[in-house]
């Protein structure tokens, strides 16, 4: 009854989807968010597929997918015939979001299993509901940032530099969205192991526990006053 987490799939950190050519378009951010999709698959508990551990009665897997294209302009470029260097500035980011959820259920599930796994799916959907806002905020924070890269050509150096920007974006998205879902799901599993409370209420409680447990930062001014 434990969920297996597919943290985040950025299509090989979205390197495939990156923009490699010099872009001089106006600064801007766009995020396209697809509807989340839930697929329920059945399996024989005596012969579970590789996706399902024999220690689990059932399992829910998910992936927060985020493709990313970086638009930029080259600020500096050098080609000394032995290697190239570029410095770029991010002028725009186009992101695409998706959330596929796969629920594996045995042919004859024990009582309460489907309700428990539905709880994991609901957690995913709730976190995903705010993913577009998070993706836009992260993208906007990167506009104007500069990155450097080297390569055998200006094109290759630009790929390298913009690739670093994509990695930065993916790390931020993972920390703010995918990791949040993982943490809440683990809290949900922990609560479920100690109570038979209605699963919908457990989902609400898992979110509440997560919010109460988040680290708080004290403003520097307040820190000085307390010393």
**The pLDDT value given to residue 49:** 79
Other Cβ atoms within 10 Å of 47 Cβ, number: 7
> Two tokens at 63?
């992936």
Dihedral sign, Cα of residue 42, residue 48, residue 51, residue 54: positive
**Strands (DSSP E) along the chain, which ranges?**
6-9, 28-33, 37-43, 59-79, 84-98, 100-106, 146-151
Range name among 81-90, 103-112, 161-170 with the lowest pLDDT average: 103-112
What share of the chain has pLDDT > 70, as a percent?
81
pLDDT in tens, 4-27: 444 333 333 333 333 333 444 456
Q: How far apart are CA 189 and CA 193, in angstroms?
A: 6
Q: How far apart are CA 7 and CA 135, in angstroms?
A: 16
Query: With 70 as the cut, is the pLDDT of residue 223 above it?
Result: no
State the DSSP code for 89: E
pLDDT in tens, 116-175: 999 999 999 999 999 999 999 999 999 999 999 999 999 999 999 999 999 999 999 999
**The pLDDT value given to residue 23:** 47
Query: Which is more confident, 22 or 106?
Result: 106
């Amino acid at each position: 009854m434990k969920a297996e987490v597919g943290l985040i799939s950025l299509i090989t950190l979205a390197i495939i989807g990156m923009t490699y050519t010099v872009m001089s378009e106006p600064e801007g951010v766009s995020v396209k968010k697809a509807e989340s999709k839930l697929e329920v698959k059945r399996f024989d508990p005596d012969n579970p597929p590789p996706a399902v551990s024999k220690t689990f009665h059932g399992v829910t897997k998910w992936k927060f997918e985020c493709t990313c294209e970086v638009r930029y302009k080259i600020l500096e470029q050098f080609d000394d015939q032995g290697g190239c260097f570029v410095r770029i500035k991010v002028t725009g980011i186009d992101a695409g979001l998706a959330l596929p959820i796969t629920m594996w259920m045995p042919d004859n599930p024990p009582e309460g299993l489907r309700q428990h796994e539905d709880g994991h799916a609901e957690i995913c959907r709730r976190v995903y509901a705010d993913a577009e806002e998070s993706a836009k905020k992260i993208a906007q924070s990167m506009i104007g940032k500069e990155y450097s890269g080297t390569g055998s050509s200006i094109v290759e150096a630009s790929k390298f530099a913009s690739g670093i920007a994509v990695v930065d974006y993916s790390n931020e998205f993972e920390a703010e969205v995918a990791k949040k879902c993982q943490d809440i799901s683990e809290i949900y599993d922990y609560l479920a192991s100690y109570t038979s409370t209605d699963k919908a209420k457990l989902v609400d409680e898992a979110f509440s526990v997560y919010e109460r447990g988040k680290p708080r930062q004290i403003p520097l001014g307040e820190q000085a006053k307390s010393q």
